[in-house]
Chain A
Amino acid sequence: MPLDAMKDISDDALLVLFANGDRAAARALTLRLTPRVLAHAQRLLGNAAEAEDVAQEAMLRLWKVAPDWRQGDAKVTTWLYRVVANLCTDRLRKARPLPLDAAPEPLDTAQGADAALQGAARVDALQKALVRLPRRQRQAVVLRHLEDLGNPEIAGIMEISVEAVESLLTRGRRALAAELAGRRAELGFADEHE
């Protein structure tokens, strides 16, 4: 089956096809889910090489669980976000703290050079502030504001109540704002208000 024909098929239906030996489903799931898994891992870890390892491991676990997957039980992405978070937690526990001036990852500079540089600087500043947040606050903020998920889904991924998610988000945003407040002029925010 061509990949185009699979764009309207849900993730869990593709996973069932995968379990039945459909190679096109394997390719479709790889192309659809690996970017999300990688981006999430990188936002939680702040490290590209480690994020790649986590992404590959998370996808491997997905392939292995495919024969036992029951359609309708849970969203595949919800399951994956949870696996990624657990893998990242394991790595962060074992790893030494990241240096505060860790270099940002190479960024896409397809947009205008100035805007790209400013955007890159903002991403870099946010990433450095994110890795200083407590782990659960970071996870909640990333899921809400970078993965664009709703609070109920975040609650499902983190296996906590919606109220607890809201509390983590409030504290996380406040900490991020405090962390970034001193760099506004440097990051181009002063220009926007003039």
Chain B
Amino acid sequence: MNDDDITALKAHFEAARSHAARPSEALLARVLADAMQIQEEQAETPAPQGRAPAHEAGFWRQVFQGLGGWPALTGLATATVVGIWIGASPPSGLEGYLAEGEAAFVVDLDPWDAFDLASVMEGAM
């Protein structure tokens, strides 16, 4: 392209910029009517009910929830108390399993069921 080409093109572009199409009142009215209608439709459509933001749980709350909440904790406490009582005052049925000088440990493996009894020789500790 030579200089004349560039000069002429610039003049064409300038003329086109200053003669840009202008929207009619009718077009603006249609566009605005669409806008209002869409706004009404969007207002009638309920926003999706997302889950409420979770509270920032503290450490002990997380532990509590991790264990299963109050039902699990109740069973765990009961098993613990029973285990301590058995350790302190063994029922007569257990005496055959525990020789003099042996230590007995109650190991609670499943708070929902019964407890297991493990007998560990002192020498093995």
A: which residues have CB within 8 A of B? 18-19, 21, 23, 26-27, 29-31, 34-35, 38-39, 42-43, 48, 51-52, 55-56, 59-60, 63-64, 66-67, 105, 107-108, 118-120, 122-123, 125-127, 145-146, 148, 173-174, 176-177, 180-181, 184, 187, 189, 192-193
**Chain A nearest CB: distance from B18 CB in Å?**
7
- Option from A19, A27, A66, A184 in Cβ contact (under 8 Å) with B8: A184
- Option from A123, A173, A192 in Cβ contact (under 8 Å) with B9: A173
**Chain B nearest CB: distance from A181 CB in Å?**
7
**Chain B nearest CB: distance from A12 CB in Å?**
16
- Option from A18, A34, A122 in Cβ contact (under 8 Å) with B12: A122
User: Which A-chain residue is minimally distant from B6 (CB atoms)?
Assistant: A177
In the docked arrangement, what's the CA distance between A111 and B23, Å?
A: 19
Closest CB pairs A-B (n = 4): A177-B5, A26-B35, A63-B38, A122-B15
- Range class of the B interface residue count: 20 to 34
Given A18-B35, A31-B28, A64-B38: A189 and B11 within 8 A (CB)?
Answer: yes
**Chain A nearest CB: distance from B69 CB in Å?**
38
Contact B19 A119 (CB under 8 A): yes
In the docked arrangement, what's the CA distance between A138 and B90, Å?
A: 96
28 A-B residue pairs with CB within 8 Å: A23-B36, A26-B35, A27-B32, A30-B28, A30-B32, A31-B28, A34-B31, A38-B22, A38-B23, A39-B20, A39-B21, A52-B27, A55-B31, A56-B27, A59-B35, A60-B34, A63-B39, A105-B21, A107-B19, A119-B19, A122-B16, A127-B16, A145-B9, A146-B13, A148-B17, A177-B8, A181-B8, A187-B8
Contacts of A31 in B (CB 8 A): 28
In the docked arrangement, what's the CA distance between A174 and B23, Å?
A: 31
In the docked arrangement, what's the CA distance between A146 and B30, Å?
A: 26
Q: How many A-B residue pairs lie within 8 Å, measured between CB atoms?
A: 119
Contact B19 A123 (CB under 8 A): yes
In the docked arrangement, what's the CA distance between A34 and B28, Å?
A: 7
Decide yes or no whether B7 CB sits under 8 A from chain A: yes
Contact B15 A146 (CB under 8 A): no
Contact B12 A30 (CB under 8 A): no
User: Which B-chain residue is minimally distant from A33 (CB atoms)?
Assistant: B31
Contact B39 A43 (CB under 8 A): no
Decide yes or no whether B124 CB sits under 8 A from chain A: no
Contact A146 B16 (CB under 8 A): yes
Decide yes or no whether B42 CB sits under 8 A from chain A: yes
**Chain A nearest CB: distance from B123 CB in Å?**
70
In the docked arrangement, what's the CA distance between A105 and B20, Å?
A: 10
User: Which A-chain residue is minimally distant from B12 (CB atoms)?
Assistant: A126
Decide yes or no whether B1 CB sits under 8 A from chain A: yes
